Structure 1
Amino acid sequence: MAEYRSARPEERNEYIDLANYAFGADFETLLPKVYGKGIDSSSLQMVAVDEQGRMRALVAVLPERLNVCDHKLQTGYLGTVSVHPRARGEGHMKVLMNSWLERLSEEAYDMIVLAGQRQRYEYFGFTLGGARVKHTVTQDNIRHALKDTNAEGISFCPLFEAEGAVALAQRLNTSRLAHVERAAQILPQIMKTFNLNPLGVLEAGRLIGYLLVNKEGNEISELALEHPDQIVRTIKAYMANQEVWRVTVNSPDYDKALNAQLGELAEECVIETSDMYNILDFANVVEAYLTLKHRSTGLVAGEFSAVMDGQPVTARVDEHGVTVERTAKPDAVTLSKQQAQKLLLTQHSRYMEVGAPAGWFPLPLFWYKTDKF
């Protein structure tokens, strides 16, 4: 009989070795914010250990505090789902996943997030959704659309070699309408998640922002600058500096300044799903993200009432903003968990006959790559 429990500090090498073996990766390099040298992440790991004391499977959850328009949400990003090849089919992942879901529900988490194969995690109550905007900018776009844009004086350096990098990066992150809180003491490790390269953006030698780019330099997963008028100048300077033909820039739907400016010049713009989500507290999530959508792209006035996975929710938008109550009207629609998440998180909502005000859903959930796990 296998034992299912939290990992112990002295098992650090063992659970990292299991993850490395299962994925063929180096997790100390891939996720230094959790598995870096000197970091004890044993409390984040739930493991399956067989009768011989061998670690057979692992599922981890990284707790993350999320601030959405001053609404505080407790979330967890689930990852490192690892099963030893010789232990597959023994049911360890199912037990560990359900154990985590039960624990996080008891601890009053609002939502759990992960990235994974859709049907595999739908069995555990997750729904593929959210929104990531992806602009593709080419040198032709730069040459024609930005021919009169002066990018002189913009340069780049390794972010954490620049003076005041941690303070600026923290300030730019917390100034967003929605952000995951990032611990300043491990910010360099956080911003190197999944082998990202943090680049400081300087103007006349002064740090004005940063980019997080992939190894090849052709994908910007995060762009943060002090002022919107620095966006296209930075893109033009970056493409000249890197000598790449094509760059993809990812952003949340609610970043109006970035999306508006890139939309004026990009060769392509695609809106994709961002992650998989399991909502535990529907009222908190609806209130936070309706407020975000109201403050960014806007919402029409109206009311929507539903019982979502047994939780009554009534939301209103009027001249005073967004209000959400934990009650439901007598004629409220009743939705299962999967139906409710499809409505709130996916483009499928437009085909559902639920009487929601036009444009309210899907909600603009998004995780920056450096905040994933």
Structure 2
Amino acid sequence: MTFYCKGQPGELPEILDFINMVFSMHQAPHNFRTLLPKLYGESRPTEWCHYLAKEDGKIKAVVCVLPITLKHDGHTITCATVGSVSVHPYSRGKGYMKQLMAMAVEDMEQQGITLSILAGRRHRYQYYGYEPGGHSLQYRFNGDNFRHCASRYPDIPLTLRLAEAGNTMQIGEFCRMYSALPVHTVRSDQDFFDICSSWGSQLYAVEQEGTAAGYICGTEDHVYELVLEDETLLFSALKAWSALHGCESFTLAVSPYDSERIRGVSGFYERFSVQEEDNYRIFNYSDAIHFFLSIKSEKEPLTDGRLTLKIGDRSTLAIAVSSGKITAEPCDDAPDLCLTDVEAVDLLFSPASLYGRESSSPLFSVNWFPLPLSVSQLDKC
């Protein structure tokens, strides 16, 4: 008999053993305790965010749903990042994942989640209402960039020093710097180090003459976050990262709304690309559109206009911009456009929607889309 439930206190070791086994059989060996310490580190009581399918008391499938909160200009939206999606190799085809995802989605809707994030294959997760969306800018650097461009930037000696989890004063300072960003995920001092150590990332202090000037974290070839008190240190900080790791090249991820950072790297990167992020499902379009349209309005003037969208079986949504004022609320008007949930994520939140859009489309008349949806890899599970 199959029993579907949430994880209970004391079950995390069993959950951890299960997902390690499944992912190690499917891909390379995995150790989620070190890969995701924010979820599976020592003394982490995170059983509650796991959905389990059990046969005769033994776990046969797992889905993890970890809530996170995005904040901008005093406004917040609650998101859910989905991960550790796994089914025992001998139990596939029994519908376990379909049932667990149905449970998770129902809970997310009841809990008022605005949007959900799930990495994985596009058409596999379209069945659950997810579609690729969001994007980040990926800047590639190599040693030649720093050597040939050195004369254009001030030579500011910086030291990158590996941070320690036990240095609570330092970690608290990093958390303060991060929380000062215009758009950020709400993180506690207690969770900050483990979040920045996710996905194989290492956290370093950026020091100028012995004083903390920011932090940088990532893997050898990919910088996930670089937060600086002074953006004039950008060239020197990335040069120091390149020297520290001695890597042939590395990538810096930049959010599409971080105009200052985009301008800062423009003179010395090697190559640039736009990377679509993960699969998204939007539960509350009104909140999501208002939140990310407000972010976009700070970077470029928005076209005045009004659009009415019918998405799935929801009430028609009227989106309007008038002299900078943004509204997104239900209305009784006939919709300008009727979309499925998958189509809505693609057209409103994916950079792919910029290409091939028909000139007759109502979306063509405004500069609102795609919305600058972007979530740090370190906050995902």
TM class by shorter chain equals: over 0.9
Cα distance change of structure 1 residues 331 and 38 upon mapping to structure 2, 3 Å threshold: closer
Equivalent of residue 133 in structure 1, options 132, 137, 141 = 137
How many angstroms apart in 2 are the aligned matches of 1:198 and 1:100?
32
Superposition deviation, residue 348 in structure 1:
4.0
Matched ranges for 1:60-209 at <5 A: 60-160=64-164, 164-209=169-214
Q: Partner of 2:244 in structure 1? A: 241
Q: Partner of 1:370 in structure 2? A: 378
Deviations 1:102-131 (A, max 9, x none): 111112111111111111111100110111
Moved more, 273-282 or 352-361: 352-361
Deviations 1:279-322 (A, max 9, x none): 00000000000000111244222222212222322222232432
Deviations 1:221-246 (A, max 9, x none): 11111122111121223223333332
Moved more, 273-282 or 231-240: 231-240
Superposition deviation, residue 331 in structure 1:
4.7
Q: Partner of 2:27 in structure 1? A: none
How many angstroms apart in 2 are the aligned matches of 1:139 and 1:83?
43
Deviations 1:8-49 (A, max 9, x none): 112221111110001111111111111111111111011001
Moved more, 244-253 or 321-330: 321-330
Number of residues of Structure 1 aligned to a counterpart in Structure 2:
370
How many angstroms apart in 2 are the aligned matches of 1:275 and 1:175?
26
How many angstroms apart in 2 are the aligned matches of 1:283 and 1:339?
16
How many angstroms apart in 2 are the aligned matches of 1:265 and 1:303?
40
How many angstroms apart in 2 are the aligned matches of 1:343 and 1:328?
22
How many angstroms apart in 1 are the aligned matches of 2:304 and 2:32?
47
Q: Partner of 2:5 in structure 1? A: 5
Percent of matched pairs sharing the same residue: 26
How many angstroms apart in 2 are the aligned matches of 1:311 and 1:265?
48
How many angstroms apart in 2 are the aligned matches of 1:13 and 1:237?
39
Deviations 1:209-231 (A, max 9, x none): 111120xx221111111122111
How many angstroms apart in 2 are the aligned matches of 1:261 and 1:14?
47
Moved more, 281-290 or 166-175: 166-175
Cα distance change of structure 1 residues 344 and 328 upon mapping to structure 2, 3 Å threshold: farther
How many angstroms apart in 2 are the aligned matches of 1:134 and 1:13?
36
How many angstroms apart in 1 are the aligned matches of 2:373 and 2:300?
13
Q: Which runs of 5+ in 1 are unaligned?
A: none
Q: Partner of 1:354 in structure 2? A: 361
Give secondary structure in 2 for the equivalent of 1:147. helix
Superposition deviation, residue 80 in structure 1:
0.4
Q: Are residues 1:258 and 2:261 paired?
A: yes
- CA RMSD, 1 decimal: 1.8
Q: Partner of 2:58 in structure 1? A: 54
Deviations 1:192-225 (A, max 9, x none): 11110001101111001111120xx221111111
How many angstroms apart in 2 are the aligned matches of 1:345 and 1:83?
30
Give secondary structure in 1 for the equivalent of 2:353. helix
Q: Are residues 1:281 and 2:294 paired?
A: no
Q: Does the 8 Å contact 2:304/2:366 carry over to 1? A: no
Cα distance change of structure 1 residues 94 and 165 upon mapping to structure 2, 3 Å threshold: same
TM-score (norm: length of structure 2): 0.92
Give secondary structure in 2 for the equivalent of 1:143. helix
Which amino acid in 2 is paired with 1:233?
Answer: S
TM-score (norm: length of structure 1): 0.94
Which amino acid in 1 is paired with 2:362?
Answer: G
Q: Does the 8 Å contact 2:134/2:351 carry over to 1? A: no
Q: Partner of 1:15 in structure 2? A: 15
Equivalent of residue 38 in structure 1, options 38, 43, 48 = 43
Q: Which runs of 5+ in 2 are unaligned?
A: 25-29
Q: Does the 8 Å contact 2:308/2:334 carry over to 1? A: no
